[in-house]
Every structure is written in structure tokens, then in C-alpha cells.
Amino acid sequence: MIDLHCHSTVSDGTDSPTALVDLARAAGLHALAITDHDTLDHVDESVRAGAAVGVRVVPACELSCTTPPGVGTMHLLVYFPAAQGALEDALFALRGGRDERNMQIVERLRETGVDITMADVLRETGDGTVGRPHIAAALVHKGYVDSIDEAFDTWLARGRPAYLERTRLSPGDAIRLAHDAGAVTSLAHPGSLDLDDDALDGFVGALVDDGLDALECEYARYTREERDEYRALAGRHGLLPTGGSDYHGAYKPDLRLGVGRGDLDVPDEWLDALEARRPR
């Protein structure tokens, strides 16, 4: 059993890379991909920790991509990237755009009467990259909401008062940069695109034309029926299946590493197939 989608304190999780590896070992996982947003800064620590306890750690990250009007959120999982080159330069620029947006979100919250500062947010992050979950956690600790989910529903989700767009890569550019770095790409949680079956089929087909390699079919918050539908979608387009819990620690308390809500089981051979698909 493996988990190819989770997050550490380096982006928006609440467990360090080493702690995630320890959790993976305790859960009986053979391999783990920490897919922190817009960064590979977690890789060295997690690979060392994995070597020490016998868990294979796959270098990986997760990128946010632009979508056309009327389409929801697109995230691209990137596996086996080299840590240097054009992709790393793009990750650095994306983190800069994220930092600028975070400051603007805090300012917008203050304009609406919410007494919050960047210092409040930074207390939630440790040494990691600041993201919206950290702003949400600050809102919880300041007493404005009772939970992370409520913070998003009230303030931070798309369409809410403090939501702001940020710099993103186009899907084609993201896939090209990943391939140039020797990586394999997978469309994360395709349901977040908010498309009906026909529109999703067309959207995925366009990504395949851009070089997409895989589709996240086994995802912790999907029903068995949804997972079967995404496996069929992947099969129609010649895409490999991937899967993971999207574990964030306390920020998504209903999810456990490796097993999600208890019914997730990503087979080892999926990782072998991903590795075999790496650009040569």
C-alpha cells in the first residue's frame, strides 16, 4: 500500500516531513509522495527520514493551474522531478505570488473588520510556506470561526469575501516544465474541476494532448462509484491511475495517511507504472 498525495508543514499540512514518514511507516505504507504546494523543499528531509525507517519517499509536488471561465480548480501532481532547472525557477516565482496574495488576503480581512495580522498567520506556519489554511487557523485561534472549514466557507473559498486569485501556470506550461525536469504528471482530484461527464472528458482529452500522464482515481473523499468512474476515464484516455489521501494533518481531520476515511488502498504497482513512464 502507498500514498501518493499528502502535505507537510513545508506547505499547508501540520506534520513535518519526518513525522509524515514516521506515520507512513506506522500505517504500513511501502512508499510515500509528499506533494507540498509549489515547492520541493520537503524532499531532502523526507528522503533521509524514509531511508532511515525503510519507507520509499518519492520526490513530488503539487501545482495549481489556470482554468477557463466556468471551470473549477485544477491541481497537477508532479512525481520524480529534478530539484533544479526551469521547474525550480517556476516554483520560486509561484511561491512569490502566493506570498503576495496572502498579504492581500490579510489586508482584505482587516478591511472587513477582522482583527488579524500577518504575524498571527506566521505563528501558524513554523518554517513552512504560508497558505490559506494558515490564515484559516489564525481565524480559528482569534475566535472568528470555530473550524478551518468554516473559515473557508465564510471568508477564504472562491467566491467568498477574502478570496483572491494568485499567479498560476497554464496546464500546458506546467506539464512541459515537469517533463523537462524528468517528471511524470497526474491530474489531482478531478472532481474539483466541477465539470459534468462530457465536459470533463473533453477537458482531460485536451490535457492528454498537452502530455498529461496520469489521473488521480483513488482519492480519499471520493465514493467508490466516483473512483470507478475516474478509472474508466483514465482508461479511455490511456492515462495511468494514481491515488492518495490528500492528508493535511489537523487541517483535514477526517483523513488519515494511507487510508483516507478508512477505505483507501492504493496498490504498489501503480508507483511502478508511474516510474516506468518517466521521460527518458
pLDDT tens readout for residues 12-33: 899 999 999 999 999 999 999 9
Which residue matches cell numbers 517528471? 183
Determine the Cα–Cα distance for residues 43 and 60; give it in Å rounded to an integer: 8
* Least trusted range by pLDDT, from 94-108, 124-138, 202-216, 261-275: 124-138
Determine the Cα–Cα distance for residues 77 and 4; give it in Å rounded to an integer: 9
Q: What is the largest CA-CA distance in the chain?
A: 54
Interstrand relation of 74-79 and 31-34 (parallel, antiparallel or unpaired): unpaired
The matching CATH number, chosen from 3.40.50.10470, 3.20.20.140, 3.30.200.20, 1.20.1070.10, for 2-91+167-276 is 3.20.20.140
Give the domain ranges of the chain: 2-91+167-276
pLDDT at residue number 129: 74
Averaged pLDDT, 223-242: 98
Averaged pLDDT, 236-256: 96
- Under the banding of pLDDT at 50, 70 and 90, the label for residue 127 is low
Residue 218, pLDDT > 90, answer yes
Interstrand relation of 74-79 and 184-187 (parallel, antiparallel or unpaired): antiparallel
